[in-house]
Amino acid sequence: MRWLAEVHVRLQPGIADPEGQTIAGGLRALGFEGVADVRAGKLLRLTFEATDRQAAEAAVAQMCSRLLANPVMETADWELSADETVAVGIQS
């Protein structure tokens, strides 16, 4: 069956994130003075085939550790769901 994983790749805490700092500065310039911090990251939306949830979880974990995140400076976490858009004919 088909699965959908939304993988969030984040810089590890403590590593300087100039992109996030620049975005935070932009928000404060717009008047959102309460913005204390912004951390930028990546969202990767994967659609893939796996026999069951356990296999799908294992596949995402492998994809993250082998390619999608570099453990030297990043972490990855994800939300996994059965992709029902195909079954019900919804175009995402």
Partner 1 sequence: MTRAPRVAVIVFPGTWSDRDFADVAGLIGWDARLVWHADADLGDADAVVLPGGFAHGDHLRTGAIARFSPVMRAVEAFAAAGGAVLGSCNGFQILTEAGILPGVLLRNDHLEFRCDWQPLRVEHAVGAWLGGLTAGEVIRLPISHGEGRYYADEATLDQLEATGRVVLRYAEEDGRVTPDANPNGSLRSIAGIVNERGNVLGLMPHPERAAEAEVGGTDGLRILRALDGWLVAQPAAAERRL
Task: List contacts with partner 1 (CB under 8 A).
Answer: 15-16, 18-19, 22, 42, 67-68, 70, 72-73
**Pick 4 or 68: Cβ nearer partner 1:** 68
DSSP assignment of 35-78: ------EEEEEEEEE-SSHHHHHHHHHHHIIIII--TTTEEEEE
CB of 72 to partner 1, least distance (A): 5
CB of 21 to partner 1, least distance (A): 9
**Pick 55 or 73: Cβ nearer partner 1:** 73
Rounded to whole angstroms, what are the CA distances from 49 to 6, 12, 22, 83? 14, 30, 38, 10
**Pick 40 or 80: Cβ nearer partner 1:** 40
